Structure 1
Amino acid sequence: MSSEPFHWPLFANAASAHEKSPSLAGPLDKDCLQGSKYTGEPKGRNLTIAGVQTYVSEASRHGGHWSGNGGAKVIIFFSDVFGPFYINNELLQDYFASKGFHVLGPDYFGDPIQNHGGETGFNQTEWLEKSVQQADTKLPGWITKVRGTYVSNAKYSAVGYCFGAPYAMNIGATGDVVASTRFAHPAFLTEDHFNRLTSEVETDVTFPPESLRRSHDLLSQQNATYHLQVFSNTTHGFATRSDPEDPNSTWAKEQSAKSVVEWFNRFSA
């Protein structure tokens, strides 16, 4: 792993170089805040890393094996606005761990969006700006600690959902992950994120079809190694909060998770 510092993007109305780059994925929309909540028994644990509560799901807890020796496979899980300790995200991280990955999901919120459901006078814009500032402040130290804790020859990959997509893209641009970064139903992406260098949803107001086509063009122009998926009759959030009563949405969610594993395994062998 390199010792170069990470440079995290500031989203929304914050001042950053990315503001000068054409936007491809927009800010939070109602679909970012809706979806089914699952039930299940999470197998991970809460570990504090660099002062950040982190959901950690280890392959060994799922009958697999993870060791501190060469060949370890690590996924950094950048969650949506519900945070890594939301049951849907816990179960997804557990799934990745069951496939042989050591998974770490940093809680850059501490105060996820679901804490404010139905709250009178809740200011979503202020919450988002606070969350962005927290993430931008906490993640560099968290990453440094993770890199110092786990073996230097571990194979790192990163996956991001919605709010977490730009962070996954940024770490993918550093060379500190072996796989091309994976993201699903993203928010807050600009052309710069692609120039510095994925499963997609058919109906997504934050990442519309023209943005998907443009992202394909940008990656192709760079001769990047990439993989794009589009699932029909799905909406933003399908990969983490799909309706279990909808067979198509459920299938798409499962295929998205499987393809994440296959993509990362390709580069982590």
Structure 2
Amino acid sequence: MASYPPAQCCTLGTKHRGEPTGKAIKLAGKWDGYLATPTEKEHKEVGIVYIPDVLGIWVNSQMMADRFAANGYRCLVVDVFNGDSLPLNRPPDFDMKKWMTQGSDGNNPHTKEAVDPIVEAAIRLMKEELGVKKLGAVGYCFGAKYVARHFSSGIEVGFMAHPSLLEEEELASITGPLSIAAAEVDYIFPAEKRHKSEQILAKIGLPYQINLYSGVIHGFAVRCDPRKKAERYAREQAFLQALAWFGEHLL
């Protein structure tokens, strides 16, 4: 694997303050989404699909989508968990593997077989209903896997932060530029996995970037504690990393 499966650290973090300004929508009439639309200076016919971590659509991901919209990108956060995302700060004894394979009720798995159709519906909505001609994608933790998997479905440029569950074959299958933001302390995407990912990306020969942020842990790009200077700085720089990457390769 290019990164390990999700663990307790994938739910830990801080809820950020703010009021989301986008709107709730439905994908294919059954899956939830959150759509943030630029009010000015829109990059016409360009959009971003946001594939979240295990916390799904919540205030942190909504406000990040709003920030992409404020920078001109129509941004759709997609509920890849079919209404079964996790709350913040699960206890250490939470059975993450069982939740991944079965869902909270035992009949709502969060495997690639269940998630792929939701991501594909998001891509279709952006391209067929919203008129997006050039599509980027961001994936955080759990969502990073599905950025890699869905270049084949219409994603042209990707960004991921602190990936989990990413297979080497999935990373090797990308067909467009990819940027990765990594944490110095990350048991899901440790140094050996980061270096292996670098080798894979170098072999592909497409534009790539891996930035390592010191003083932060897994999840920092979405769930950091903004009261801590190092975490706040790293979160902001990871967001600017994504913006710069899309500005270079998507526009």
Shorter-chain TM-score above 0.5: yes
Q: Distance in 2 between matches of 1:227 and 1:123?
A: 33
1:1-269 correspondence to structure 2 within 5 Å: 23-50=1-28, 51-60=30-39, 64-66=40-42, 71-84=44-57, 86-109=58-81, 110-114=83-87, 117=90, 123-129=95-101, 130-132=109-111, 133-151=113-131, 154-172=133-151, 174=152, 176-179=154-157, 181-197=158-174, 198-269=180-251
| Ranges in structure 2 where 5+ consecutive residues have no aligned partner | 102-108, 175-179
Deviations 1:21-54 (A, max 9, x none): xx12111112101011111110111011212110
What amino acid is aligned across from residue 188 of structure 1 in structure 2? Answer: L
Q: Distance in 2 between matches of 1:185 and 1:111?
A: 22
Q: Distance in 1 between matches of 2:47 and 2:33?
A: 14
Deviations 1:234-254 (A, max 9, x none): 100000011112101110000
Larger radius of gyration: 1
Deviations 1:86-137 (A, max 9, x none): 111111111111000000011122121118956xx96433321212253234
Q: Distance in 2 between matches of 1:246 and 1:39?
A: 15
What amino acid is aligned across from residue 24 of structure 2 in structure 1? Answer: N
RMSD: 2.1
Question: What SS does the corresponding residue of 1:194 show, helix, strand or coil?
Answer: helix
Q: Distance in 2 between matches of 1:49 and 1:66?
A: 23
Deviation above 6 Å: which 4+ runs of structure 1? none
TM-score normalised by the chain length of structure 1:
0.81
| Ranges in structure 1 where 5+ consecutive residues have no aligned partner | 1-22
Q: Is the 8 A contact 2:52 2:142 kept in 1?
A: yes
Question: What SS does the corresponding residue of 1:114 show, helix, strand or coil?
Answer: coil
Deviations 1:190-249 (A, max 9, x none): 211221121111111011101111111111112120111000111000000111121011
Q: Is the 8 A contact 1:200 1:230 kept in 2?
A: yes
Q: Distance in 2 between matches of 1:206 and 1:115?
A: 18
Q: Distance in 1 between matches of 2:200 and 2:17?
A: 39
TM-score normalised by the chain length of structure 2:
0.87
Question: Could you tell me which residue of structure 2 aligns to residue 12 of structure 1?
Answer: none
